[in-house]
Amino acid sequence: MRTPTLKPHLNVSDQTNTSVSRKKRSFKPSAEFQRQANLGSMASYKKLHAESVNSPDTFWKRMANEHLVWRKPFTKVCTWKEPHAKWFTGGRLNVSENCIDRHLGTARENKAAIIFEGEPGDVRTITYRQLYFHVSRFAHIFENMGVGPGDRVAIYMPMVPEAVIAMLACARIGAVHTVIFGGFSSEAIKDRINDCKAKLVITADGGWRRGKVVELKSTVDRALAGTPSVQSVIVLKRTGNPVTMQEGRDIWWHDAWKGGPNHHKAKAFDSEHPLFILYTSGSTGKPKGVLHTSAGYLLGAKLTSHYVFDLKDTDRYFCSADIGWITGHSYVVYGILSNGATLFLYEGAPNQPEPDRFWEMIDRHGLTILYTAPTAIRAFMRWGDNYVLKHNLDSLRLLGSVGEPISPEAWLWYHKMIGKGRCPIVDTWWQTETGSIMISPMPGATPCVPGTATLPFFGVSPKFVDDKGKEVPRGTDGKMVITKPWPSMLRTLWGDDERFKQTYFSEFPGWYFTGDGARQDKDGNFWIIGRVDDVLNVSGHRIGTAEVEGALATHPAVAEAAAVGRPDDLKGQALVVFVTLKTGHAATPELKEALRAHVGKEIGAIAKPDQVRFAAALPKTRSGKIMRRILKQIASGGEVKGDTSTLEDFSVVAALQAED
């Protein structure tokens, strides 16, 4: 693992250092919002937070009993044998029952669990009762296909209700889902399926995106040529485009469905039963299979949704994240449905047919909460206020942001233009690994300061340290660690516990290392600066530079490649790759395009480099390590600053700067 040094990396995103943030504007929750909030004062936040960190067992015992439905009560709250945590030992529950069955026989039974809108404009509503029988049917179907507790199921679907149904049906029978984002390539699907040895794949003929069909089934077919573990494929008919069905392996969703029972008695599983694996980029090698288990994860997702999104029975909540990301797991599916709210699910692009699609839908469906990413907010700003002003956004009462630091400018625009100065904004910091929100305002309590995620959630105890693990004073940039276990933390990396220890618990023994740089200001607010490792954040998506370099290395023309990020107005960071070619290959514009396409094929369109730069040589230390810090500076068009004494040959830098 490359051990990052602190300073040079902390400039990755200096969006927090703007003139606006220096004015220290603070937005207090309105008395009206406070009165109706699930948590309505700083005093209550402080009291609960103090209890959660000083008496975690008492706090979590009460929360787990209040918020989850147990079949068998737990006997022990937390067992921490660093770096392995076990939560709610002895307890048994069913996650799908906690998201569906608990609402049956209550006033929620016939309310909308999901309001779906497809990109072409088709609308469907599914009540909690209907969700129950959809999930029950698929639980039976999966079981009849021989899928049982602990078996892995890969889901590669568009954003349609059936994706949610598939996830919940897995949870119901104790199968472990791994959702693969619909933008990943067949190579990426193959790697993930082979890593977790999935038995069953659930996909669709396609999904709608920007008026076109994204062909999912044919991509799956190419992947399945190299995945011996897969026995069956269920295919949803969504777009009606032609697909090839392999006899004996593939079955249509609607055919699988015929005649099955409508009720499924859910079995109870151990608190630590695996719920899902979600692959995410790391600073080295192949993506990591982050493993989350049942009770602790669900409690994290449920409790944060209750407090941070202030969810109410009357809410129609819209999260624009895809279910292929952790945000889609925790805040499209598990946190929202376990709270019995109404989930609004949208299939397509925010600018289809016009850049006002979100505002038009918020107006038409009367949506109350919007949770989206800064990269989307920057695009909305660029598209112009007129698209927003055409619509009535009075139904909105709360806004959220996730995935990267939100600049104070974007925050203020979101607040004024979308929230009309009325809606609190929760800037939520968390990670695939943390499972649920870790740092965020409580919308009815915390004064919001644009650009900061403000304060830790219950049970979260972060610290900021230097490279040696010594705490840095307030106001100083440090690396962020979390010093105590929390219920929704990852349990390990699938099939690689050593890498789990190495990645998260080796740099600062005893503490979870987030990989993020951050600082705490004198008011106690947390400013997240960005990754300090070799992970980029492109449009809110994590991309490991090592993964991109690995993909480029498989191209016959490439001798060596280095990937770095440069600041980008729209994407946050853009991906720049420096490539040296093998002799006999000419540095042509066509080859640049071919290399971009190659990365797209190996990983997916989201990882396609924004810029390919050819180089005669890469800057290296005397021991042969590529100096990414220098490449970052060159990619950003800046001067090469800092210590270059370890550089083997400075002329390499001059040559690179001379290139485009």
Binding mask 29-68 for ligand WTA (x = CB under 6 A): ----------------------------------------
Residue at 458: amino acid letter: F
Binding mask 386-405 for ligand WTA (x = CB under 6 A): ----------------xxxx
Residues 6+ apart with CB under 8 A from 181: 322, 324, 325, 604, 606
Site for ligand WTA in 189-208 (CB under 6 A): none
Q: Does 571 bind ligand WTA (CB under 6 A)?
A: no
For residues 71 and 94, is the Cβ–Cβ distance under 8 A?
yes
According to DSSP, the β-strands at 232-236 and 200-204 are: parallel
Residue whose tokens read 């737990």 = 74
Q: Does 410 bind ligand WTA (CB under 6 A)?
A: no
Residues 6+ apart with CB under 8 A from 601: 185, 187
- Which residue lies nearer to ligand WTA by CB, 251 or 379? 379
CA distance 585 to 404: 38
Q: Does 450 bind ligand WTA (CB under 6 A)?
A: no
Residue at 317: amino acid letter: Y
- Which residue lies nearer to ligand WTA by CB, 131 or 453? 453
End-to-end CA separation in angstroms for the chain: 31
Structure tokens given for 355: 């850049």
Q: Which residues pair with 541 in a beta bridge?
A: 538
Among 48, 204, 326, 599, binds ligand WTA (CB under 6 A): 326
Residue whose tokens read 């009540």 = 127
Q: Does 530 bind ligand WTA (CB under 6 A)?
A: yes
Among 239, 280, 283, 305, binds ligand WTA (CB under 6 A): 280
Q: Which residue is nearest to ligand WTA (CB)?
A: 432
- Which residue lies nearer to ligand WTA by CB, 190 or 531? 531
Q: Which stretch binds ligand WTA (CB under 6 A): 43-51, 249-257, 325-333, 443-451?
A: 325-333
Residues binding ligand WTA: number (CB under 6 A): 23
Among 52, 271, 432, 520, binds ligand WTA (CB under 6 A): 432
Structure tokens given for 178: 């791994």
Q: Which stretch binds ligand WTA (CB under 6 A): 137-145, 248-256, 292-300, 512-520?
A: 512-520
For residues 459 and 52, is the Cβ–Cβ distance under 8 A?
yes
Number of helical H runs and strand E runs in the chain: 23, 30
Q: Which stretch binds ligand WTA (CB under 6 A): 161-169, 418-426, 427-435, 605-613?
A: 427-435
CA distance 237 to 246: 15
Nearest distance from C-beta of residue 351 to ligand WTA, angstroms: 23
Q: If phi over 0 gives left and psi between -120 and 50 gives alpha, with beta otherwise, what is residue 406?
A: beta
Q: Does 103 bind ligand WTA (CB under 6 A)?
A: no
Q: Does 78 bind ligand WTA (CB under 6 A)?
A: no
CA distance 146 to 555: 40
Q: Does 431 bind ligand WTA (CB under 6 A)?
A: yes
Q: Give contact residues for ligand WTA (rule: CB under 6 A).
A: 280, 325-327, 402-405, 427-432, 453, 514-516, 528, 530-531, 537, 542
